[in-house]
């Protein structure tokens, strides 16, 4: 019997194809020079720890489960709304096919935040990273951190990408969705772990995921709860479970005043 291909498998296969094309258009050596010339990253983990509960506010144009959310969103303007609302970090989805994001969004968000100086939010590239080339893309575009999804990486690739991330001065937010993935994240030395309440194989959301997995995190790791978060009660719930940060996407993208919503989420 043929195993059904998951949404995650389909997205990862497309991203591998995208990377192969990008390598031809922009050779790694050129990208390496651009990464070296980029403004230096800030300490992403330290930035999250400065203002608990830390909100990682996401710029998300669309998703496989919800379709279009805000396809015409002005990414830098939204980033500034998030920043002025008290976001500790801004996650920028750069996957183009299902999420309608781009590296241009990331680059423009980073440029818009530059005038805020050392107090600016950290910038996370959220994507399906499978290759060192994507780390260079992230750094060249100004990212301070990248997402590494345990579910789409074998142990060797996960460890290699984590080392490569740190070599470029960035942080790796290592995403897990079950106990086995938490063990793998701990084994590779992850110090920033995102517990995704959404199973990327089916895109189903279970808010109990963070509650169940948080106690299995390695000592000293900063935990972030990802997906399905929309209220102050959600933030308090995950804080009680051990999460020092939450990532909020769709709810903020649909909010009439995202800055006010961030303040509400933080209990301000």
What digits encode the pLDDT tens for the residues 28-73?
A: 999 999 999 999 999 999 999 997 899 999 999 999 888 999 999 9
Residue 1, pLDDT score: 40
Compute the average pLDDT of residues 113-121.
Answer: 96
Report field, pTM of the whole predicted structure over 0.85: yes
CATH number for the domain formed by residue range(s) 7-265: 3.20.20.70
262 falls in which pLDDT band (50, 70, 90)? very high
Compute the average pLDDT of residues 87-106.
Answer: 97
Could you tell me the residue ranges of all domains in the chain? 7-265
Using the predicted structure, report yes or no on whether residue 136 has a pLDDT greater than 90: yes
Cis peptide before 53 (omega within 30 of 0): yes
Name the percent of the chain lying above pLDDT 90: 93
Rounded to the nearest integer, the mean pLDDT of the chain is 96
DSSP per position, 115-180: GGGGGSPEEEEES---SHHHHHHHHHTT-SEEEEEGGG--HHHHHHHHHHHHHTT-EEEEEE-SHH
């Amino acid at each position: 019997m043929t195993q059904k291909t998951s949404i995650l498998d389909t997205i990862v296969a497309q991203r591998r194809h995208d990377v192969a094309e990008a390598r031809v258009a922009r050779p790694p050596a050129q990208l390496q020079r651009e990464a070296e010339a980029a403004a230096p990253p800030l300490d992403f983990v330290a930035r999250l720890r400065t203002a608990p509960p830390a909100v990682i506010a996401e710029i998300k144009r669309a998703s496989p489960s919800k379709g279009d959310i805000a396809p015409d969103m002005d990414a830098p303007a939204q980033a500034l709304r998030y920043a002025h609302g008290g976001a500790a970090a801004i996650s920028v989805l750069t996957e183009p096919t299902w999420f309608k994001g781009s590296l241009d969004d990331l680059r423009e968000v980073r440029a818009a935040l530059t005038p805020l100086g050392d107090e600016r939010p950290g910038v996370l590239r959220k994507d399906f990273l499978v290759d060192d080339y994507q780390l260079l893309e992230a750094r060249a575009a100004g990212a301070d951190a990248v997402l590494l999804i345990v579910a789409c990486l074998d142990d060797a690739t996960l460890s290699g990408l984590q080392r490569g991330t740190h070599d470029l001065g960035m942080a790796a937010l290592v995403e897990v969705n079950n106990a086995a993935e938490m063990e793998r994240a701990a084994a590779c030395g992850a110090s920033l772990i995102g517990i995704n309440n959404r199973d990327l194989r089916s895109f189903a959301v279970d808010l109990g995921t963070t509650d169940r997995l948080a106690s299995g995190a390695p000592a000293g790791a900063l935990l972030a709860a990802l997906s399905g978060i929309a209220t102050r009660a959600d933030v308090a719930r995950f804080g009680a479970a051990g999460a020092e940060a939450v990532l909020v996407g769709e709810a903020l993208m649909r909010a009439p005043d995202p800055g006010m919503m961030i303040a509400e989420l933080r209990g301000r």
